[in-house]
Homo-oligomer: A and B are copies of this chain.
Amino acid sequence: MSLQRIGPRSGVAVTLSRGDILTVMDPEGGQVSDMLAISAEDPAEVLSNGRTFDYEETLRLSEGARLWSNRSRVMLTIIEDRAPQHDFLLTPCSEGTFRHFYPDKPLHRGCFGNLAEALAPYGLEPDAIPTAFNIFMNVTVGADGKIAVLPPGTQPGDLVRFRAEMDLVVGLTACSAYASNGGSFKPIDYRVDAGAVETAG
């Protein structure tokens, strides 16, 4: 599979079999991609930032880290990380986000609306959309707990690779919010490569 492009402020759904490798690349630098994963077998099993923080014991999820579901199962492992950072604290930007942070800007459905549309055919209700794993997003936490959203430090071509640890449907966006990508809306590239699954016996 060659690189596929997600246009600015849009999203896609990608199906992954266990063992597949998902590569997500920032082609121009400075862009964010919100990633959501649900079990291909049951859309009620979704990515959980709280379970992931519990089990990985860090907010800084990079190479080697596993992303966990609400059922305490590993959904994805970060097998390669050539990006400066990711975020798992903040929810996908949405109409509510735009009203709150950008009251003078045109309303947009945001990554939330894009993920909702992309994943609706797989049975995910909008209310069930949890905090996404925000690839390339630059969120800092001060010693006093204060959260700041800064432009991503990614350079063109920076990428991260995930291995699917179960059969998944993954929603992936090119982010729509102003703050998370420094005010510019850019595309995101991705690719799926079939992986070798270790079989028992």
* Contacts from A to B (Cβ < 8 Å): 44-46, 48-51, 53-55, 57-60, 70-72, 89-91, 94-97, 99-100, 125, 127-131, 141, 143-148
Contacts and interface: CB of A to CB of B under 8 A. Distances in A.
Given A58-B145, A59-B145, A146-B57, A127 B45 contact: yes
Nearest to A60: B145
A54 B91 contact: yes
Nearest to A42: B127
Contacts of A94: 72
Given A48-B91, A91-B54, A96 B72 contact: yes
A89 B53 contact: yes
Tell me the number of copies of this protein: 2
Contacts of A145: 58-60, 141
A143 to B, nearest CB: 7
Contact of A50 (B51, B125, B130, B143): B130
B60 A144 contact: yes
Given A50-B49, A91-B51, A128-B128, A72 B57 contact: no
Contacts of A100: 54-55, 72
Contacts of A46: 127
Given A49-B49, A49-B89, A57-B148, 20 more contacts: A44-B125, A44-B128, A46-B127, A48-B91, A48-B131, A50-B89, A50-B130, A53-B91, A54-B90, A54-B91, A54-B97, A55-B100, A58-B144, A58-B145, A59-B141, A59-B145, A59-B147, A72-B94, A72-B100, A141-B145
